[in-house]
Amino acid sequence: MKLNGQQLLRATILLFFTIFIFRLHVSGDILKLINPKYETLSQIGASLFLLLFLVQMHRVFTFGTKAEHHHHEGGHDHHHDHGDQPMNLKKVFSYMIIVFPIASGMLLPLSSLDASIAKNKGATLSITRQAEQEESSQDELAETQTPDEVPPGTEQPAGDDNPIDPNIYKNTIKKTEYDQLRSDILLQTHIEMGETLFSTYYQEIMANTEQLQGTRVSLSGFVYREEGFSAEQLVIGRFLITHCVADAGLIGFLTEFDQAKNIEDNTWLDVTGTIQLTDYQGSQIPVIEVTDVETIEEPDQPYVYPINIEIVE
């Protein structure tokens, strides 16, 4: 019997991948990396790593006759590396690439996206562009996603051969309820932007700013600034994660109040104010004239996620 060091190293890497992903789920930190609708898929992935680890363990120990079989099967030499070839520089480099994300993920603290990331993503440009795009995107949604497109008894649009991920509707609202919610927003005198519907309210306010002028709104988020802001201006924003942290984008509102100049970036605030319309960089966007502001602690879950619309009869 022979202990194969490289096979043991591969098994160890698979084990640490398994531990790392399951630890993220136990601590809840997985929601800082992916949309909650992908939690089950992530757990399946961790289970597959565990299965591969168990399979790999059978290769850690080899016996003499078996080792010879690998290299002289059928009377011909193989040139495949079964993990028993000497370690060389190319192998070391390959293992380092695989080990690096595990080592950094397990040894370094997981930090939240903040204002510095928003600046790198060009958030202000995104905000002004979204003001121009929100209304057209809402119209497209109403035109393309109608109940007539859904075969009775299914939730999958006709003509789509790809099966729908069953987890995608974890955070779901029926289309009728969604349409009612959109209509009700325009009638509200005070919009309270909770975390579940944060992105929905954001889209509606961006698309219907003129109709919502003078409406009170309450929201919480972190402080973000761009060059060109006045001393009384800052953005209260949240990162929206559609799939994973790699596609996270800032959504938030320009706000104005006298004490803004005394508040540092990344400070979490809970604000209430009235919606007004202003011109910023050539675009008409909403601005919240803040009347009440309170400093709060960063929530355990700082991100928000888009709500999924279930299209059924």
Tens digits of residue pLDDT in 41-87: 999 999 999 999 999 888 888 766 555 555 555 445 555 666 667 77
Query: Is residue 271 domain-shared with residue 201, that is, in the same domain?
Result: yes
pLDDT of residue 260: 92
For range 25-41, the mean pLDDT = 88
pLDDT of residue 124: 58
Structural domain total, the chain: 2
Q: State residue 162 phi and psi, 5-degree precision.
A: -85, 125
Query: Is residue 202 domain-shared with residue 300, that is, in the same domain?
Result: yes
Query: Is residue 98 domain-shared with residue 173, that is, in the same domain?
Result: no
Query: Is residue 126 domain-shared with residue 274, that is, in the same domain?
Result: yes
Query: Is residue 126 domain-shared with residue 256, that is, in the same domain?
Result: yes
Average pLDDT of every residue of the chain: 79
Helix residue ranges per DSSP H, 244-290: none
pLDDT of residue 113: 83
What is the percentage of the chain residues whose pLDDT exceeds 70? 74
Residue ranges making up the domain that contains 294: 115-132+169-310
The reported pTM is 0.71
Where does residue 170 rank: exposed (0-12), middle (13-18), buried (19+ CB within 10 A)? middle
Residue 277 within a domain: yes
Report the 10 Å Cβ neighbour count for 10.
20
Residue 71 within a domain: no
For range 215-224, the mean pLDDT = 94
Strands 283-296 and 249-256, by their bridges, are parallel
Residue 162 within a domain: no
What is the percentage of the chain residues whose pLDDT exceeds 90? 33
* pLDDT at residue 164 is higher than 80: no
Non-local (6+) Cβ contacts of 79 within 8 A are: none
Query: Is residue 128 domain-shared with residue 103, that is, in the same domain?
Result: no
Q: How confident is the model at residue 311 (pLDDT cuts 50, 70, 90)?
A: low
* CB 56, CB 11: distance < 8 Å: yes
* pLDDT at residue 154 is higher than 60: no
Q: How confident is the model at residue 165 (pLDDT cuts 50, 70, 90)?
A: very low
Report the number of secondary-structure helices (H) and strands (E) in the chain. 9, 10
Reported in sequence order, the residue ranges of 241-282 that DSSP labels E, i.e. its strands, are 249-256, 268-280
* pLDDT at residue 137 is higher than 90: no
Higher pLDDT, 185 or 69: 185
Highest mean pLDDT among 130-134, 212-216, 279-283, 302-306: 212-216
Helix (H, G, I), strand (E, B) or coil at 3: strand
Element (H, E) at 40: helix 39-60
